[in-house]
């Protein structure tokens, strides 16, 4: 981190009898920190599937401010976390992935595009904010072709920040990217049907897809 700035990170260890096959760092979205229900749910689930998961707070969240830091500050924070985790976590030293929810995933893509030497194998994006809601012309994809690692983009079919058809140009420009569509899902993969069991099944499918994709990247 820059200067005296520090942040809090949390490790969800796999808790399995076998060593975790990889680690993944997940950044949080703009409106909620690492304690958000979504991030905690996904971190616990991925850990149960054999992955060490690391979450952290960006500086503005750590300071209990509501407005996100400027992009260079967010990037510096994420980059510092990746460097520290790679050095301190055995599973991360073997196979390290990054990503996150919405803004957290977007910042992950920026540090990957800017630093080809970053010790990561892939990026998992959980609801990528391709553009602000209602402003499809303000796209946030110019840097994506510079990323030379595999990417998994998990996108709800009714995500106001970017619907699956809007990612067609991204997939053409970034051959290493894979799109996984959550049918009926919004920006947080929530379906309109108020059925806890159905929602849990949707989340479970996404979590299994992430782990399946990670294993596939490692084998290639």
| Per-residue pLDDT, 1 | 47
CA-based angle 178:180:185, to the nearest 5? 150
* Sequence spans of domains, the chain: 9-219
- The DSSP call for residue 20 is P
Q: What is the pLDDT of residues 135-190, one digit of tens each?
A: 999 999 999 999 999 999 999 999 999 999 999 999 999 999 999 999 999 999 99
Q: What is the pLDDT of residues 2-49, one digit of tens each?
A: 445 688 999 998 876 678 999 999 999 999 999 999 999 999 999 999
* Sign of the Cα pseudo-torsion (117, 119, 124, 128, in order): negative
| Per-residue pLDDT, 131 | 98
Q: Hey, what CATH topology would domain 9-219 get?
A: Rossmann fold (3.40.50)
Q: Is-contact 99 107, C-beta < 8 A?
A: no
Q: Is-contact 53 23, C-beta < 8 A?
A: yes
């Amino acid at each position: 981190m820059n200067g005296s700035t520090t942040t809090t990170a949390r490790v969800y260890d796999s808790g399995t009898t076998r060593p975790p096959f990889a680690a993944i760092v997940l950044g949080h979205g703009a409106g909620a920190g690492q304690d958000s229900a979504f991030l905690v749910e996904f971190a616990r689930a991925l850990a149960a599937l054999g992955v060490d998961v690391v979450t952290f707070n960006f500086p503005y969240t750590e300071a209990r401010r509501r407005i996100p830091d400027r992009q260079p500050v967010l990037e510096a924070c994420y980059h510092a976390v990746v460097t520290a985790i790679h050095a301190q976590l055995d599973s991360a030293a073997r196979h390290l992935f990054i990503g996150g929810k919405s803004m957290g995933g977007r910042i992950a893509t920026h540090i990957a595009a800017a630093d080809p030497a970053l010790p990561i194998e892939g990026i998992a994006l959980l609801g990528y904010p391709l553009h602000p809601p209602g402003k499809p012309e303000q796209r946030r994809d110019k840097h994506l072709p510079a990323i030379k690692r595999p990417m998994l983009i998990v996108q709800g079919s009714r995500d106001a920040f970017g619907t699956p058809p809007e990612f067609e140009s991204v997939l053409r420009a970034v051959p290493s990217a894979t799109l996984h569509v959550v049918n009926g899902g919004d920006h947080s993969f929530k379906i309109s049907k108020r059925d806890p069991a159905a929602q849990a099944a949707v989340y479970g499918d996404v979590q299994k897809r992430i782990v399946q994709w990670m294993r596939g990247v490692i084998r290639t």
